Amino acid sequence: MATGLVGKSLSVEGLFEGSTWPSFYTGLNPAGHGYHWLDQLRPGSYRLQAYRPADFARSKALWETLSDAGRRVVVLDVPLAPRSPDLNGVQLVEWGCHDSIMGYQSRPRSLGRNILRRYGPHPAPQPCDAPARSTEEYRALADQLVSGAAAKARLTIELLAQTQWDFAIQVFSESHCGGHQFWHLHDPTHPGFDPALTERCGDPLRRTYQAIDAAIGSILEHVPAETTVVLLDLHGMAVPHGANLLLPEILIRLGAMQRPPLDAAGSGVLPGSRAGRALRSAYHRVPEAIRVPLYHARDRLNQQLGRGSPINVDWTRSRCFDVPIGSALGAVRLNLKGREPAGMLAPGAEADRFCERLSEQLMEITRPDNTQHWVRRVMRTAELHPGIHSPELPDLLIEWNPLQRVGSSVAGAGAGAVLRAQSPAIGLAEMLNSSCRTGQHEPEGLFVVRGQGFGPGSLERTISILDLAPTFARWLGCELPRMDGSPIAQLL
């Protein structure tokens, strides 16, 4: 930062928790590439389908464009990036990533075998979530992340030395894991912050960041002086805030969404044929010890076959329903006629009136203990992100008030773990947050550019992460086939 051009970046509005990485490496907004979360609504259904590697391949990644133009690339551990066929270079997929979606792969395949033989698996678990951790377990996870960052540096140095390349990228996902798991041990504004516990743990987040900093430093010692180096922090981390856990209950109390009616066993029965309802009713009478494993096996099979898992919503009586996009924001899908199989809302004026009224009701919700509003604003996704995959995205995005910090029952003494929300329309709703993640993503990021033509200084404006891939492509004499971003003039 002392020797390069420093700037601020901003991820894609409203969908930054899931869409940041695909948006970065394609230069497309979420409606351009279609990805916003690990499980997405299967078009034309009421079922959630796990996003698969082939789905990511619908849009061309930056390194694929470079490779097609004859540039030699090294692509290491980029999150949510599948293995690219026929790449002019080397690629490592999910050796040390936070999420394991694609599975461990490499190009060439011998590279993956050699890495496991020389370095073994990444020391940290994938994913690194756990129900709860003791002081010793927090220290152990920090040790794993520190070791992982050091091994990643050695691996990177070795591959860059062995390979001719024009473009190389390595991602230190140790910061991602550490941010989620250690934030309450680092940030005094977290409701569960305990100075005594942090002293015993040794601030594992700072340790992790220092290890990554040292790893980057060791890599730079082996990079030729004329190489342009870009350090990217695509999005940030902060204290969790918002009432996303309460969103389904809020929608139900507002009369906008309904759960399936209960059968005799007290379980929800989704709409369908009489025979189908009878089969489901019989299934719910099977003892739980047998029923639960059967359910998980059936769900895995449905995911593999592309059928997805049914959402727990009575679509014949729901004008909308919540869909997953993480914890940072809330997401609502309209049950539209002509788009959903049993749509209730007509597109156009009727849907607009419903959205306006629902937005007003959400904006009225406050927290009983401090009377502050839970919702900062409600956004229409189509207005934020137009594109060919816009119908696959949620329709409404709920931005929670960042001042409403949320604790967890597994952090500190559980301070702030009970979420309470009230309004004249919903009464009082509450729920316990027991998530082990005490850090939550924020859209703001940072970048530093160092190399020939870039002296120390700062970029006055905040750039979009959509502009980064077009800029890198232009540096290497290429253009992306499709892009919603544009090259950054100050970096050309």
Which of 95-104, 109-118, 184-193 comes out lowest in average pLDDT?
95-104
Cβ atoms of 124 and 138 within 8 Å: the answer is: no
Q: In the prediction, which pLDDT does 266 show?
A: 46
Would you place residue 302 in the very low, low, confident or very high pLDDT band (cuts 50, 70, 90)?
confident
Domains in the chain (CATH in brackets) are 5-38+58-240+439-491 (3.40.720), 260-312 (no CATH)
Would you place residue 295 in the very low, low, confident or very high pLDDT band (cuts 50, 70, 90)?
low
Question: pLDDT tens for residues 355-382?
Answer: 999 999 999 999 998 889 999 999 999 9
Question: pLDDT tens for residues 5-15?
Answer: 999 999 999 99
Which of 121-130, 168-177, 276-285, 383-392 comes out lowest in average pLDDT?
276-285
Q: What is the mean pLDDT of the chain?
A: 93
Question: Per residue, what are the HEC states of the chain?
Answer: CCCCEEEEEECCCCCHHHHHHHHHHHCCCHHHHCCCCCEEECCCCCEEEECCHHHHCCCCCHHHHHHHCCCCEEEECCCCCCCCCCCCEEEEECCCCCCCCCCCEEECHHHHHHHHHHHCCCCCCCCCCCCCCCHHHHHHHHHHHHHHHHHHHHHHHHHHHHCCCCEEEECCCHHHHHHHHHHHHCCCCCCCCCHHHHHHHCCHHHHHHHHHHHHHHHHHCCCCCCCCEEEEECCEEECCECCHHHHHHHHHHCCCCCCCCECCCCCECCCCCHHHHHHHHHHHCCCHHHHHHHHHHHHHHHHHCCCCEECCCCCCCCCEEECCCCCCEEEEEECEECCECCCCECCCHHHHHHHHHHHHHHHCCECCCCCCECEEEEEEHHHHCCCCCHHHCCCEEEEECCCCECCCCCCCCCCCCEEEEEECCCEEEEEECCCCCCCEEECEEEEEEEECCECCEECCCCEEHHHHHHHHHHHCCCCCCCCCCCCCHHHC
Cβ atoms of 306 and 43 within 8 Å: the answer is: no
Would you place residue 283 in the very low, low, confident or very high pLDDT band (cuts 50, 70, 90)?
low
Q: How far is CA 54 from the centre of its chain?
A: 18
Cβ atoms of 480 and 60 within 8 Å: the answer is: yes
**Using CA atoms in the order 451, 454, 460, 466, what is the torsion angle rounded to 10 degrees?**
-40
Q: Give buried/exposed letters for 106-133 (b at 16+ CB in 10 A, else e).
A: bbeeebbeebeeebeebbbebebeeeeb
CA distance 427 to 434: 23
Of 234, 242, 240, 123, the C-alpha closest to 183 is 240
Q: In the prediction, which pLDDT does 270 show?
A: 58
Question: pLDDT tens for residues 429-449?
Answer: 999 999 999 999 999 999 999
Q: In the prediction, which pLDDT does 268 show?
A: 56
Question: pLDDT tens for residues 238-281?
Answer: 999 999 999 999 999 999 999 998 654 445 555 665 655 666 66
CA distance 244 to 67: 41
Q: How far is CA 165 from the centre of its chain?
A: 30
Q: In the prediction, which pLDDT does 261 show?
A: 86
Question: pLDDT tens for residues 327-336?
Answer: 999 999 999 9
- Provide the residue type at 416 as one letter: G
Please check the confidence at residue 131 and state whether its pLDDT lies above 60.
yes
Q: Read off the pTM.
A: 0.92
- Provide the residue type at 483 as one letter: M
Q: In the prediction, which pLDDT does 288 show?
A: 73
Would you place residue 290 in the very low, low, confident or very high pLDDT band (cuts 50, 70, 90)?
confident
Looking up tokens 């309460």 gives 246
Q: In the prediction, which pLDDT does 100 show?
A: 84
Provide the percentage of residues in the chain whose pLDDT is more than 90.
Answer: 85
470 upstream amide cis, omega within 30 of 0: no
Which of 303-317, 383-397, 471-485 comes out lowest in average pLDDT?
303-317
* Average pLDDT over every residue of 25-29: 98
* Average pLDDT over every residue of 469-477: 98
Of 320, 442, 426, 410, the C-alpha closest to 367 is 426
Q: In the prediction, which pLDDT does 346 show?
A: 98
CA distance 188 to 360: 34
* Average pLDDT over every residue of 228-246: 96
Cβ atoms of 434 and 408 within 8 Å: the answer is: yes
Q: In the prediction, which pLDDT does 187 show?
A: 97
Which of 7-11, 198-202, 344-348 comes out lowest in average pLDDT?
198-202
Cβ atoms of 211 and 149 within 8 Å: the answer is: yes
CA distance 360 to 398: 12
Please check the confidence at residue 121 and state whether its pLDDT lies above 90.
yes
Please check the confidence at residue 353 and state whether its pLDDT lies above 50.
yes
Would you place residue 323 in the very low, low, confident or very high pLDDT band (cuts 50, 70, 90)?
very high
Q: In the prediction, which pLDDT does 412 show?
A: 82
The Cβ of residue 360 has, within 10 Å, a number of other Cβ atoms equal to 11
Cβ atoms of 265 and 351 within 8 Å: the answer is: no
Q: In the prediction, which pLDDT does 275 show?
A: 59
